[in-house]
Amino acid sequence: MNPFIYVLTTNGVLFLLSIIFWKFPPKKINNLYGYRTHKTMLNQQIWDFANKTFNEAFVKYSGLSFLASLVLANFAKSELTWQPMVLVALSILVAIVKTERAISENFTEEGKKK
């Protein structure tokens, strides 16, 4: 498979999804769409904060992974296999860690603002 097609179908789709989540964040707490954890679903204030924080980090890191994968595809001497998918996983993981850290810094375990 062409390395650029592979990058577009992995990292490109992730970046597109992050833009959609960023432009159209969930308005109300729900079980289908948004950054859903037990703590974020405690109240609307945490829900809005968590989704805003996650979506900003997700756009940033998925964009970086997309650009890094395009550079990697440009200089690849052989076929790309697992490298773009590692960048996808790292993008999601970093966005989750940053969001959870921000929630812990701003809200108590009971869901009250610090």
Cα separation, 72 vs 83, in Å, equals 9
Can you tell me which residue has the tokens 């609307």?
Answer: 44
Cα separation, 88 vs 64, in Å, equals 10
Cα separation, 107 vs 32, in Å, equals 23
Q: Let me know if residue 114 belongs to a domain.
A: no
Range of the domain at 95: 3-106
What is the pLDDT tens value at each position of the chain, 114 positions in all? Answer: 788 899 999 999 999 999 999 999 999 999 999 999 999 999 999 999 999 999 999 999 999 999 999 999 988 877 788 989 999 999 999 999 999 999 999 999 888 898
Bridge partners, residue 107, by sequence: 113
Into how many domains does the chain fold? 1
Q: Let me know if residue 10 belongs to a domain.
A: yes
